[in-house]
Amino acid sequence: MRFMVIVKASRESEAGVMPDEQLLAEMGRYNEELVNAGIMQAGEGLHPSAKGARVRFSGTQRLVIDGPFAETKELVAGYWIWQCTSLQEAIAWVKRCPNPMPGESEIEIRQIFDAEDFGEALTPELREQEEHLRERIANKT
């Protein structure tokens, strides 16, 4: 099972406060543990929402909304993609994580859909297209 592990933003991260050397070192050691365990597939921190944008869809209309965005606790400051055997394993790994923010913080864990989750709607042709795209992406890295 693959999971997206989402580090929620804080007032500090949205203000552009960068982690100090100690936190960077702790997160580096933690990421190394994840890689050594075969869990981590990707992971990155994100710039504050002030440097981002949203695109709102309504039928054929598109509205671009520039950041920053108001609800800090609903924003994402960073993420990992993990391969785990279960949600419980992902939770156990998150509980070992250094606190990613200076004060209180929250990390959300969400399972990523697999092709099998889509049932018959994912026709053989669509499955082949998906596999082809994944191969192309893998070959670029």
> Does 65 have pLDDT greater than 90?
yes
Yes or no: say if 5 and 82 are a contact pair by the CB < 8 Å rule: yes
Q: What is the pLDDT of residue 102?
A: 85
pLDDT, tens only, 92-130? 999 999 999 988 899 999 999 998 899 999 999 999 999
Q: For the full predicted model, state whether its pTM sits above 0.85.
A: yes
Q: What is the pLDDT of residue 98?
A: 96
Q: What is the pLDDT of residue 31?
A: 97
Domain boundaries, the chain: 2-140
Q: What is the band of 70 on the pLDDT scale with cuts at 50, 70, 90?
A: confident
Q: What is the pLDDT of residue 52?
A: 96
Distance CA 99, CA 73 (A): 16
Half-sphere exposure of 120 (CA within 13 A, CB side): 0
Q: What is the pLDDT of residue 19?
A: 93
Distance CA 110, CA 113 (A): 9
> Does 20 have pLDDT greater than 90?
yes
Residue type, 137: I
Radius of gyration of the chain (CA): 18
Share of the chain above pLDDT 70, in %: 99
Distance CA 88, CA 126 (A): 31
Mean pLDDT, to the nearest integer, of 31-51?
97
Q: What is the pLDDT of residue 89?
A: 98
DSSP of the chain = -EEEEEEEP-HHHHTTPPP-HHHHHHHHHHHHHHHHTT-EEEEEE---GGG-EEEEEETTEEEEEESP-S-GGGSEEEEEEEE-SSHHHHHHHHHTSPPSSSS---EEEEEPPPGGGGGGGS-HHHHHHHHHHHHHHHHH-
pLDDT, tens only, 1-16? 999 999 999 999 999 9
Q: 48: how many CB neighbours lie within 10 A of its CB?
A: 19
Considering the domain 2-140, what is its CATH architecture?
Answer: 2-Layer Sandwich (3.30)
If you average pLDDT over every residue of the chain, what do you get? 94
Half-sphere exposure of 11 (CA within 13 A, CB side): 2
